[in-house]
Amino acid sequence: MARVFTSGADLGPPPFALLLVALGSCTSMTLRTYADLKAWPLERVRVGLRHASGPDGLVIDRRIELVGVLDEAQRERLLAIAGRCPLHRALTGPVEVRSTLA
């Protein structure tokens, strides 16, 4: 298990910015890997993300742009695959955070 320590000195990016960067990276890597495996002509993936907190919790909007000569079936399959990236699964599945005092 990785250990992450924070000092609270405002020396880094905001936590949700890191979360969105991680989700965007995971999404694009997952799509690239899948397209390469299928030998599909995916040239580039762009992922735009934003978040909002509301009464029902966190909402993340993800906009995926697929660049390349892909047919509609390939584009729809890649959209479905985006939901299978490991970080997406972690965020949408049961998550348990255990806290202890050091």
Pairing of strands 57-68, 42-54: antiparallel
The rounded average pLDDT for each run of 10 residues, N- to C-terminus, in the chain (102 residues) is 59 88 97 98 97 89 98 98 96 93 93
- The residues facing 57 across adjacent strands are 54
- 63: which 2 tokens? 């906009």
So what's the pLDDT on residue 85?
A: 96
pTM of the model: 0.84
C-alpha closest to that of 32 among 71, 64, 62: 64
